[in-house]
Each structure stands twice: as structure tokens, then as C-alpha cells.
Structure 1
Amino acid sequence: MIKKLYVNNFRSLVNFELSPGPLSLIMGPNGSGKSAVFDLLDSLRRFVADGERLDSAFSIDDKSQLPSLPNSEEMHLELELATDEGVYFYSLTIEYSELEKKQRVQKESLEFNGKPLFKSTLGEAQLYRDDHSEGPNFPMDWNQSGVGFLMARKDNQRLTRFKERIQRIWVVRLNPFNMADESRQESTRPTKDMSNLVDWYRYLVQSRFEAVQESTDDLQDRISGFRSLSAVEKGEARVFRAIFEGKQSFLFSKLSEGQRALIALYTLIYGVAEEAGATLCIDEPENFLALPEIQPWLDGLYDLVEDQRLQAMLISHHPRMVNFLAAGHGVWLERNNQSGPTRVKIIGPAESDAPIKVDELISRGWIGTNA
């Protein structure tokens, strides 16, 4: 589980620290930095776990340009990750050159229970074995993660498990308009907008059928007459149709946006829950859903979190979510006049014990760092 995220100089996140719990509801006005938090986690995953190069994962445009603060040439982030084995601590410092429009890894390190697994400074890397004794020293590409670059070996299994855990960070901004009917190959994970849902669904059917069955069982209760998703071969591709009572079937794209969103959301929570220690970040999951559809899905997500099958972070302003989650899991983000750095307020007893609901406190402007 992600225990702490710290970043300095990523967009509006300046000297910013977030300590998410098993379930976190992130709230705040537009432009307060909510999406920046999710984008940071996604960039970190792509850089470390996918091996994406620095100039692709962390654009130079992501460096903070806030007019109210001194302009720094560095971006620094830290991630504390708790597992059943122990606690990982990852640190990355990126150096920017505004003049050359380039960036490079200045420092990168990984520790386990306070002892080193990897360190690099300006291209000189030192690997440590699982017993923390020194391993090989070697030069590193300044545009690449050393942690991500290193291949699995018998004596660095902890570093490998850290990368596997980072790969289990899922950031989603659902867009049912982009979801296709046709799949030409399996995909081990959905894209951020879940446009490749049917590709991922094919993979789940083959590799994690229990997740497909769990999501189908719930969907049968939530979409009237729904029975299953079925794929029909069409040349080298497979075309997905939704099967309803009476053997009626419809192309997946012919379902309503809300139905496609529901299928994606239920598939998502059960598919991700099959990956031990996953962190699921969903930006406004209630989009496209009717009011009665939100609570059952939220109940299902809550149960998975309670069973320790996943960690979840949600961005939402929906009254149902706010009133259900904010009192125990709410985090409020805000910026001064939309031009200063993002600041964090934890929703605490003052808001939870108020005589009116939390969504009403928000609508009246009574929650916020400037309130």
C-alpha cells in the first residue's frame, strides 16, 4: 500500500505530501491539483515499471512554473510503499535545463526497511544485493530509471518485487465514448481511458476468470436483463456483444454510455483486486452513471478495500460519494487564488460531526484551507 507520496515542483504540487489510507476520497475545486496527483503516480509507474524514458514520462512542462514561488531547476519525489515483507522507500530527483529544454536523472535511490537496494548519482549507479551488501557499480543513462533498467537476478529479488508493485498502480479516467467493440489482441492492462476494455477483458477471461465471473454476477444485478459479454470471431479479430435475457445481443458500442461505464467499472475493481497489493486511482468514477447506480458499485469497492484486496483513491464531488466516504477517508486539496501551490486538508471530526452533511459544507464553502 502507498503510505506516503511527497513531491516538490510537479505542476502545482510544491512541497506537497499525501498520506493515503486504504481508501481515500480526494476533493477540491477545479485546478486544485487533484488530477496532478494521479498523473504523478502514472508517470512514476511508466518511468520505473514500464521503462519509459524520462523525457516521455516526465515532460519538462510538468515542472512547476508557479509565479508566486522561486523557479527551481529540480523536481523531487519520494514514495513510501508498505508490503507484507516490509517498507520500500523510493526517491527520485530530476534536474531540468530550461535553456536546453532537457531533463536528466540527478539522483535515484531505493531502500528496503531503511537499508539500500539501489543508488545512482549523475549516471553512476550502485546496486545492492538483497542482504544489502554492495553489488556491481556501473554507468547509467541519465534519461532512464536505474531501478527500472535492472533485470531480475537471484540476489536482487526485492528490487524486482518493488517494480512489480509499482506496475500495480492503475490510473483511470473513464471515457465510454472511446471504448471499442473489436479486439485484435489481448492486453494485460487497460489504457487510462479504458478504450481498450475489450482487449483487457480477453486477457482476464484467459488469466483471471474468477474476476470476470465476480464482475458479471454484479452486473446481472445492476443492468436490467444483462447476462454476459461474449466475443464472436471476425477474421483475426473478436467482436464483443452484450448478451441479454431472451438471447438478445447488442454490439458493445450500442449500449448506453452508462451501461458501458458500469461494465468497465465492475470489471476494473475485480480485475485489479486479483493483483496483490494494487493501488487503483479513479478520476470521477460517477461520470455517466445514474444516481442509483453509484452506491452499489461503491459498496462493492468498499468491501474489496475492507478485505485488503486493493487500495483505492477516488476523485469525486458527487454528493453520494462525499457523504459516504468523506468523514473517514476525505482529503481536501486547495490553492490560493488558483495560482499558489496545492495544500492538503484532512477532513476531520469538525466536519464529520457537523449537523449538516459534508456535501452541504462543501457547497457552502465551509470546507477548505481558506475557510
Structure 2
Amino acid sequence: MIREFYINNFKSLINFQSQLDKFTCLIGLNGSGKTTILQAIDFTTQLIKGHVEDWLNMREWALEDLFYSSNPSNNISFLLKLQFKKSSYSWRGEFNGNTLTCPFEKIVNDISGEILFEVTDRAYHIGNNPHKPIEFKYQGSILSVLQDEVLTEELINIRDFLVSVKSTDLLSPQLMRKRARQADNDLGLGGEKLSAFLHDLSDVQKNEINQLIKENFSPRFESFETTTIQAGWKKLSVTEKIIPVLETARLRTEAKHVSDGLLRLLAILSQMMSSSQVLLFDEIEDGINPEIVEKLVDLLISTPQQIITTTHSPIVLNYIEDEQAKKSVILTYKNEKGITQQRPFFTIKGVAEKLEILGPGEAMLDVNLNELAQELSHD
């Protein structure tokens, strides 16, 4: 999992640092930088995949959109601290906006202190091997183009972990309703590959999603189906019971007529079936009936994957246990310069005490976040 994240000069994040739990929930006012944090993590892990220009185009961003508006520099420095079962690592580096590459990178085993990989002065070295000049083109991290044969097992594991980080911070019902040809193991930022992604799941995974929805979210729900139509396009539809007392009565609905909430559930649950080890979600409750949010939160907390999400909803917080909330809920706010700051919400004086008599969501409702942000920005 990602246990610590640092980034500097990415949009409103200046020397931004945050500890992350296995389940992390970002709260704060509109425009405080919650989604920016998700974007920053997604950007940093994209460097390991390369194709930075493609990432910008997919989000419809210009290069200058990456950087803090009041800073003339177009360099972004970053640090990810990773915790695996038996080891921990630090990956630090600097992204140069002129070359779209990382001219400096270093991966260190935090337990032994060994430098596993380093890039500096247009050369790289792995372990104790001699430096090799960089004489080829690439974008992002050089690890995006180095073949497995030249990497150690540790570096392959680290790279594969970072590649597996997936963001769906732009999930859109309109895009999820679209037919897709191929998923390539990717839902798409907006969920535009949902039909193809679901089509590629194993029968066991499909059955598990169907059972989860039936048992936790919609008793009328029977199953989702994907079919291949002309030119390889995948069509998504949902089958529901329409008369509970008549077992043979079923209604099949194509995705373009399926509710926003059910599409989001299919997208979220499908990601929980994927090989991704870290999942980023924006406004997890969006389009979801409040009555079933508890089940969704329970599933997200219990999944083996690391979940980093944002929410505006006190209802979401109310379904997080107090001890979990103390570790997981992070308040984001901006100071007078428009720079995003963060604080663990239930460590803030005056807020922590509320948790003794109120649930996490009730405590959030009982706090004026605007006034609190102003107080914290002047600390």
C-alpha cells in the first residue's frame, strides 16, 4: 500500500504531504483540493507507465495545467513510501515539464537502506551495477521502458504495484452507458470501457458481482450481461425481476436506460475484482441511494485493496467505525494563498472531542468547515 505521499508544485499542492491508511477518506469544502490529491497520485503513478502526453490528453489538460499557477517552475517533485508485507520502499523523483521525463529518480529499500535504482545526470544504475547512459527516448520514469530482464525482482514488484494503481475520479454515467470494443484491463477514467471491462471478467467474478448487488443493494437485481455485437463492440444490459411472486418474470434493460447508481456500483465492484492494488474514487456516494451507502462503505473498508476516496456526505462517515475514522478521515482546506493543506480530521482540537459523543458523520455536521478552514490556515 501507499503509506505516505508527498508532492510539490502540482496544481494547488505545494510541499504537500499526507499519511495514508488502507482506507482513506478525504473531506472538505468544494475546491479545497480533495480531487486534486487523487489526480496527483494518479499522475505520479502514471510516470511509471510512461505516456504522459496521452494522460494529459485523456483528461483534456494542457501541460501548464499541471503546475501551481503562482510558481514559474515546471518541475514537480514527489515521494511515495510503499509498504509491502515484508518490506517497505521509498520512490522519490522529479518530473521535468520541458522533457516530460524524470531526470532524477531513486528507489530505496527503507529497511536495509540499499539504493535499488537511481537516475541522475542522464544515466541510470540498478543496485551495484555500473551507471549506464540514457540514450533512448521515453516519457515519465525510465522504468516505463526498461525490460524485466534488466530489473531486479524487487524493482519489478515495485513497478507492477505502481502500474496497478487505478483512478476513476471522472466516473460519468453518460460514459459508462457507452459501448466499448476493448478494455485492455482498464475501466477508463470516466468508466467509458465499462461494458468491455465487465465482459472480460471471469465467470466467477461476474457471479460474485451479481451476488453482491443482489444481497446488498438491490433484491430485484438478477444479473448483468454483456454481449458482443457488430465489429466487436460490447453491449451491457441488466436483468431484474419485475414481479417477485412470479419467478419467470424478468425485465432486461440496456445500459443506456440503467440508473446512474447501478452503473456506478457495477464500476466500483468491477474494480474490486481487478488486479489493481490501489483504487482512487471521487465522491463515492454520488448517485448511490443513502440507504445502501452503509453496505458500500463496508465493502470498501473490507476489500484487500487500498481505497482512497473523497466524499461530501456525512452519511459515509457515519458508517466508519470511530477508531477507523481517526486514522482514515482527512480534512483538506486551502490557506490564504490557495495552497491545499491537510489534517487528520479527528486530531483537530475541538473535533476530536466531538467523537466521544457523536458519530463521525454527526461530528462533521457539527463543525463549520468554512470557519475551521480559516482557523487552520492561520495556525
1:159 is the counterpart of 2:155: yes
Residue among 59, 64, 83 paired with 2:63: 59
Query: Which whole-Å deviations, capped at 9, do the CAs of 1:113-163 have from their partners, x for residues lacking one?
Result: 32122211242222x2xxx32155121547442122211027522211111
Counterpart position of 2:317: 322
* Worse-matched range after superposition: 313-322 or 110-119: 110-119
Offset from partner CA, 1:159-207 (integer Å, 9 cap, x none): 11111100121111321121135342343121111121111111213xx
Q: Which letter does structure 2 place at the counterpart of 1:168?
A: S
- Please say if residues 29 and 370 of structure 2, whose CA atoms lie closer than 8 Å, have aligned partners that are also in contact: no
Aligned residue type for 2:366 = L
Structure-1 residue corresponding to 2:282: 283
> 2:28, 2:333 within 8 Å by CA — same for their partners in 1?
yes
CA change 1:302–1:91 in 2 (3 A) is same
State TM-score, norm by structure 2. 0.83
Q: How many residues align?
A: 347
2:327–2:344 Cα contact (<8 Å) kept:
no
Deviations 1:292-350 (A, max 9, x none): 1211111111222xxxx11111100101112333444110111124x332111112255
For 2:295 and 2:161, how far apart are their aligned partners in 1?
28
Question: Taking structure 1 as reference, are residues 55 and 291 closer, same or farther at Cα in structure 2, changes over 3 Å only?
Answer: closer
Counterparts in 2 of 1:297 and 1:96: CA distance versus 1, 3 Å: closer
Runs of 5+ unmatched residues, structure 1? none
Aligned to 1:74: 75
RMSD: 2.5
Q: Quote the offset at 1:359 in angstroms.
A: 2.3
| Worse-matched range after superposition: 278-287 or 104-113 | 104-113
Shift of residue 363 of structure 1? 4.1
Unaligned runs of 5+ in 2: 57-61, 242-248
User: Cα offset for 1:259?
Assistant: 2.1
- Alpha-carbon deviation of 1:231? 2.4
- Equivalent residue for 2:47? 47
Determine helix, strand or coil for the equivalent of 1:249. strand
TM-score, normalised to structure 1, is 0.85
Partner in structure 2 of residue 38 of structure 1: 38
| Range that drifts further, 253-262 or 10-19 | 253-262
Paired position in structure 2 for 1:184: 181
Please tell me whether the aligned partners of residues 118 and 147 of structure 1 are also in contact (alpha carbons under 8 angstroms).
no
CA drift at 1:60: 3.3
Contact map agreement 2:177 2:192 (CA 8 A) in 1: yes
- State the shift of 1:240 in Å: 2.1
C-alpha contact (below 8 Å) 2:199/2:234 kept by paired residues: no
Q: What letter matches 2:88 in structure 1?
A: V
- After superposition, give the CA deviation of every residue in 1:91-117 in whole Å (9 maximum; x if it has no partner): 1113456xxxx6553312222232122
CA distance in 2, matches of 1:369, 1:24: 23
Distance in 1 separating the partners of 2:97 and 2:147? 28
Distance 1:227 1:181, change over 3 A: farther
Q: Hey, what does 2:341 align to over in structure 1?
A: 343
Q: Is the CA contact 2:178–2:192 (under 8 Å) kept in the aligned structure 1? A: no
1:219-368 → structure 2 map (5 Å cutoff): 219-221=213-215, 222-235=217-230, 236-245=232-241, 246-269=249-272, 271-272=273-274, 274-275=275-276, 278-304=277-303, 309-325=304-320, 326-337=325-336, 339-348=337-346, 350-354=350-354, 355-356=357-358, 357-363=362-368, 365=370, 367-368=372-373
The DSSP-based 3-state class of the residue aligned with 1:153 is helix
Instruction: Give the counterpart letter for 1:86 in structure 2.
Output: S
What's the CA shift string for 1:43-80, capped at 9, x where partnerless? 122221x22146955933311123xxx64453210111
Maintained 8 Å contact 1:106/1:142: no
Contact residue 261 and residue 287 of structure 2 kept, 8 A: yes
Q: Match of 1:20?
A: 20
Change (3 A) 1:200 1:96: closer
1:139 maps to a residue whose letter is I
Q: For 2:351, what is the secondary structure of its paired residue?
A: helix
- Opposite residue 269 of structure 2, the aligned amino acid is Y
Measured in 1, the distance between the counterparts of 2:184 and 2:73 equals 39
Q: State the alpha-carbon separation in 2 of the partners of residues 257 and 348 from structure 1.
A: 32
Change (3 A) 1:147 1:323: same
